[in-house]
Homo-oligomer: A and B are copies of this chain.
Amino acid sequence: MMITSVSINDSSIRRSAEIAKALGHPARIAILKILAERTTCFCGDITEILPLAQSTVSQHLKALKSAGLITGEVEGVRTCYCLNPDGIKELQSLLSELSNELVQTCC
């Protein structure tokens, strides 16, 4: 087993935590799933599906966007939100890397 020195300030650890934090609320996971199964993806569509106020949905969208997991393109009066393939890939690689590192039998 490779011995690495683990630091809170490691950028990969920080990025993984940032992504995990973005996933750390059921509404945000639900939003990602909704985006994955629809081709149109406006804030209003999501507000119709989830039992949350429009402003709350907008806030969750902002959190997902700033974590790099989704993009938002203004289209006239609306904004079309989409999964960000790069962010999703990063999610997959960082979290699967983490999973691999956590395979162990202890004590």
Contact = CB atoms under 8 A, between A and B. Distances in A.
Contacts of A49: 6
A92 B97 CA distance: 10
A36 B104 contact: yes
Contacts of A101: 33, 36
Specify how many copies of this chain sit in the oligomer.
2
B17 A25 contact: yes
Contacts of A53: none
A57 B25 CA distance: 23
Interface of A: 1-4, 6-10, 13-14, 16-17, 20-30, 32-37, 39-41, 49-52, 73, 80, 82-83, 85, 88, 91-92, 95-96, 98-99, 101-107
